[in-house]
Amino acid sequence: MATPNGTVVHPAYFLLVGIPGLGPNIHFWLAFPLCFMYALATLGNLAIVLIIRIERRLHEPMYLFLAMLSTIDLVLSSVTMPKMASLFLTGIQKIEFYVCLAQMFLIHALSAMESAVLLGMAFDRFVAICHPLRHASVLTGPNVAKIGLAALTRGFVFFFPLPFILKRLSYCQTHTVTHSFCLHQDIMKLSCTDTTVNVVYGLFIILSVMGVDSLCIGFSYILILRAVLELSSRAAAIKAFNTCVSHLCAVLVFYVPLIGLSVVHRVGGPTSLIHVMMANIYLLLPPVVNPIVYGAKTKEIRSRVLHIFSQDGR
């Protein structure tokens, strides 16, 4: 449907729904566990970043990548959870058009950066297990920094066009976004003009960024598993693979909801409760779960946290 005289129509604001089918009272009570999750994500990720920053013996590739992951999770949770909690608590659904576009860009760009960091962590585990003698020379501090910079640059470059190709569309139908935050595919559906460019570019970046990353991570673990199974000692094999458990958990927590969300959005039909729940899990779960998993499985971080609490208890 074309707009009159070919003009572009932008709404002053969009309306966020929250969770479809739930009344204001349920939304209000859901705000409290959401606030607890945000506090947990903030404190957990901040603690990991500070511990790695302070402890010189943690200035190794695995922990430097973990610090990057926690920083991204810290920013991502701050982009989504406070606005979502405000929506649940106050019932104010409005979000300004340009604020929505900015939130959408940050969500997608930060997700791409997180995917790249998870790939970097997989490469670190691959080199450490399959080529242990080369690990120190390959993953030097400058090389880790270059990987982090590449993750930052790729996330920015690939997703920077999204606000502009959404801005070129007209929105002359409903202005209701069916999630608690702004996502590209959700905003795109509100347009009454041709969205072919958005569909094609959105599919291109999801395949070339997250798709390629997930394939490379999967391939690296095939090589890791083969190397582990070739070890003569079962104890050595278990010890080697145990160093990958935390990363595997982080990969599953990130990619399983992402793949599910991509599938349900491309199956077609109106946005349903399952769309919304998959999007909530994809964005809210990793920032909360990652510091818990790494804090529990990483001896150095766990001991440092226990040391801090033991000092406070005296």
Domain-located, residue 95: yes
SS (HEC) of 53-98 = HHCHHHCCHHHHHHHHHHHHHHHHHHHHHHHHHHHHHHCCCEEEHH
In the chain, what percentage of residues exceed pLDDT 70?
91
In this prediction, residue 267 has a pLDDT band, given cuts at 50, 70 and 90, of low
Domain, as residue range, for 134 = 13-300
Tokens (6 digits) for 155: 């996330």
pLDDT at residue 4 greater than cutoff 70: no
In this prediction, residue 300 has a pLDDT band, given cuts at 50, 70 and 90, of confident
Domain-located, residue 312: no
Straight-line distance from the first to the last Cα atom of the chain, in angstroms, rounded to the nearest whole number: 70
Kindly state the average pLDDT of the residues 66-73: 94
Domain-located, residue 1: no
pLDDT at residue 217 greater than cutoff 90: yes
Under 8 Å between Cβ of 50 and 292? no
CATH code, domain with 97: 1.20.1070.10
Domain-located, residue 310: no
H or E stretch at 134:
none
Per-residue pLDDT tens over the stretch 150-166: 999 999 999 999 999 99
CA distance 160 to 193: 21
Q: Is 48 helix (H, G, I), strand (E, B) or coil?
A: helix
Under 8 Å between Cβ of 41 and 291? yes
State how many domains the chain has: 1
pLDDT at 251: 92
In this prediction, residue 309 has a pLDDT band, given cuts at 50, 70 and 90, of low
Alpha carbons within 13 A on the beta-carbon side of 278:
17
Q: Is 231 helix (H, G, I), strand (E, B) or coil?
A: coil
The pTM of the full predicted model, rounded to 2 decimals, is 0.90
Under 8 Å between Cβ of 167 and 10? yes
Kindly state the average pLDDT of the residues 200-215: 91
Per-residue pLDDT tens over the stretch 70-127: 999 999 999 999 999 998 888 888 899 999 999 999 999 999 999 999 999 999 999 9
More confident residue, 172 or 211: 211
pLDDT at 1: 42
Place of tokens 């790939």: 119
CA distance 69 to 297: 16
pLDDT at 276: 79
Name which of 36-40, 137-141, 238-242, 260-264 the model is least confident about.
260-264
CA distance 214 to 129: 19
Place of tokens 């791409």: 112
Name which of 85-99, 140-154, 260-274 the model is least confident about.
260-274
CA distance 193 to 156: 26
E strand map for 170-264: 176-177
Domain-located, residue 243: yes
What average pLDDT is seen over the chain? Answer: 86
C-alpha distances out from residue 236 to 4, 78, 119, 231, Å: 70, 41, 24, 7
E strand map for 118-248: 176-177
Domain-located, residue 88: yes
Name which of 29-43, 120-134, 180-194 the model is least confident about.
180-194
Sign of CA dihedral 218, 265, 115, 73: negative
pLDDT at 2: 46
Q: Is 129 helix (H, G, I), strand (E, B) or coil?
A: helix
User: Residue 46: which region, alpha, beta or left (left: phi > 0; alpha: psi -120 to 50)?
Assistant: alpha
